[in-house]
Each structure stands twice: as structure tokens, then as C-alpha cells.
């Protein structure tokens, strides 16, 4: 089944969910690791690669949102209380908003990088998508303060995303192990 129904998630949504989950967890872990490396030459290269992968992720996210908005979605189990349904819904919206916020703040941060580093030569900050489309920087002239602003926001949002992802995974396990409903299996097997 390609499309989702009121009972279960379709194969496209499931594929997009698990592919995005692996990417988000990977980008989060790599982002944390690269910012905690001792300052050295290779660190800036890690930043550039992180951003490039995340920009491709952003495109996947846009596709996912369009697909998601075109679909019916499964109802929450009848055994879930009103507050649980509300929490699940709010949690999913929160995950989407934070994923968008990470891509946007990261892109703005990348756009302000020339203000901070005299030379970004040899570092993939000159992004060309699929070898064709050169990405425009959003700032004509940004100073260090502007760049710091986006950096702080990017870090703050990453903490929010980390917390919500932990709650999200805990909720999935809770549904499966404690409540014994089909919430997890309808996202794995469909
Ligand atoms: C899903 C999208 C993204 C995720 C999950 C993510 C995650 C992270 C995390 C966890 C950090 C470390 C924050 C810290 O503790 O200091 C980070 C830093 C960074 N991210 Fe992202 N990021 C995303 C998108 C982007 C994009 C699209 C760009 C650029 C185009 C970008 C550029 C950067 C840069 C340059 C840093 C280093 C900040 C610094 O100077 O300390 N990120 N990111
Ligand atoms: C091991 C990790 C994960 C597990 C076990 C998991 C499990 C699930 C389950 C069971 C659902 C279905 C909920 C329902 O039917 O009401 C779901 C939906 C969802 N998950 Fe995850 N998830 C994981 C990682 C992630 C990550 C890292 C993200 C993104 C940051 C994410 C974002 C979402 C979103 C937005 C939905 C709503 C459905 C949709 O629009 O695709 N998940 N997840």
C-alpha cells in the first residue's frame, strides 16, 4: 500500500520517516561531534560537509511535507486518552517545525560565514547542488554579531530537537511495550 489510510501508514510515508530518522540522528550526532573537536584545520571542512548534507536533507524534508499534506493519516488508537492524542499531534508538529528551523538557521549561519573566516578555501562552503545549481548566500554583508545570532539559534534549536526526539522514541516504546497497541508496528510493518 503506497498511501496511508485511517488505519496505518503507507509505504512512502514509512520509507520517508525511517530515511529522515537516520539522517536527523546522524546529522545531530555529527553536528555535536564536530563542534566539540579541538580547533584545527579539518574542523571547518566538517562544518561545510555537515551543512551540505543537511541542505540535501532539507530538500527531502520539503518532499516529505508535500506528501504528508496530501494524505489521510491514521487515527490514534481508541485506547488513547484525549491528552495522549493531543500530545502525539503536538509532538509531530513540533518535530516538523524543529527540523525546518534547523535547516533554515543552519542555512543562515552558513550564509554569514564569510564574515567570520578570512578564507574558506578548500572548504565546501561554495555549495553547488547536484553539480549544477549554485546556492545563494542570504546575507550580502553580515558581521560577527549576526553570525553569532544564527549560531546561537541553531544550537538552541538543536537542543530542542534532541529533547523532542528522545521523548518521541520513548513514546513509541511506551505504546509498544506498555500499552501494547499498534502505534509502532504501523510505522514499521504498516
Ligand atoms: C536537520 C538539519 C540540521 C541539524 C539536525 C543540525 C545539527 C547541528 C548540531 C547538533 C550542531 C552543533 C550545535 C552545538 O552544539 O554547537 C550544528 C552546528 C552547525 N551546523 Fe547544523 N544542523 C542542521 C542543518 C544545518 C545546515 C543546513 C547548515 C548549513 C547550511 C548547518 C551548519 C552548521 C554549522 C556551520 C555549525 C557549526 C556552528 C558553530 O559555529 O559552532 N547546519 N548543527
Ligand atoms: C528510533 C527512532 C524512532 C522511532 C522508534 C520512531 C517511531 C515513530 C512512530 C511509531 C510513529 C507513528 C506515530 C503514530 O502513528 O501516531 C512516528 C511518527 C513520526 N515520527 Fe518517528 N520515530 C523515530 C525517529 C524519528 C525522528 C529522528 C524523527 C524526526 C526528527 C521522527 C519524526 C516523526 C514524525 C514527524 C512523525 C509523524 C508521522 C509523519 O508525519 O511521518 N521520528 N515515529
Residue 41 pLDDT grade (very low, low, confident, very high; cuts 50, 70, 90):
confident
Counted residue by residue, the chain has a size of: 190
CB 99 within 8 A of CB 24: yes
Query: Cα of 9 to ligand 2 centre, how many Å?
Result: 11
Which residues surround ligand 2 with Cβ inside 6 Å? 13, 17, 20-21, 24-25, 68, 74, 88, 92, 95-96, 99, 165, 168-169, 172, 183-184, 186-187
The ligand 1 atom nearest the CA atom of 23: 1
Q: What is the pLDDT of residues 50-78, one digit of tens each?
A: 999 999 999 999 999 999 999 999 999 99
pLDDT exceeds cutoff 70 at 168: yes
Mean pLDDT of 123-144: 83
Question: What ranges do the domains of the chain cover?
Answer: 11-188
Angle (deg, nearest 10), helices 41-69 and 11-35 = 160
Tell me what the pLDDT averaged over the chain comes to.
92
Q: What is the pLDDT of residues 71-112, one digit of tens each?
A: 999 999 999 999 999 999 999 999 999 999 999 999 999 988
C-beta 157 within 6 A of ligand 1 = no
CATH of 11-188, one of 3.30.160, 1.10.357, 1.10.1060, 1.20.950: 1.20.950
DSSP state of 136: P
pTM, two decimals, is 0.94
Q: Return d(Cα 76, Cα 62) in angstroms, integer.
A: 25
Instruction: For residue 84, give the ligand nearest its CA.
Output: 2
C-beta 123 within 6 A of ligand 1 = no
Amino acid at each position: 500500500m503506497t498511501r496511508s489510510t485511517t488505519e496505518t501508514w503507507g509505504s512512502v510515508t514509512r520509507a520517508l520517516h525511517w530515511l529522515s530518522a537516520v539522517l536527523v540522528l546522524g546529522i545531530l550526532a555529527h553536528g555535536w561531534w564536530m563542534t566539540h573537536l579541538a580547533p584545527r584545520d579539518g574542523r571547518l571542512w566538517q562544518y561545510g560537509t555537515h551543512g551540505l548534507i543537511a541542505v540535501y536533507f532539507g530538500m527531502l524534508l520539503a518532499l516529505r511535507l508535500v506528501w504528508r499534506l496530501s494524505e489521510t493519516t491514521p487515527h490514534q488508537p481508541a485506547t488513547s486518552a484525549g491528552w495522549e492524542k493531543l500530545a502525539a499531534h503536538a509532538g509531530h508538529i513540533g518535530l516538523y517545525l524543529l527540523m525546518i528551523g534547523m535547516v533554515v538557521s543552519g542555512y543562515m549561519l552558513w550564509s554569514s560565514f564569510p564574515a567570520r573566516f578570512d578564507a574558506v578555501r578548500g572548504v565546501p562552503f561554495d555549495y553547488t547542488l547536484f553539480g549544477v545549481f549554485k546556492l545563494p548566500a542570504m546575507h550580502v554583508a553580515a558581521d560577527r554579531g549576526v553570525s553569532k545570532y544564527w549560531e546561537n539559534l541553531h544550537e538552541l534549536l538543536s537542543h530542542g530537537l534532541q529533547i523532542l526526539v528522545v521523548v518521541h522514541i520513548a513514546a513509541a516504546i511506551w505504546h509498544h511495550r506498555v500499552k501494547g497497541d499498534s502505534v509502532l508496528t504501523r510505522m514499521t510493518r504498516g
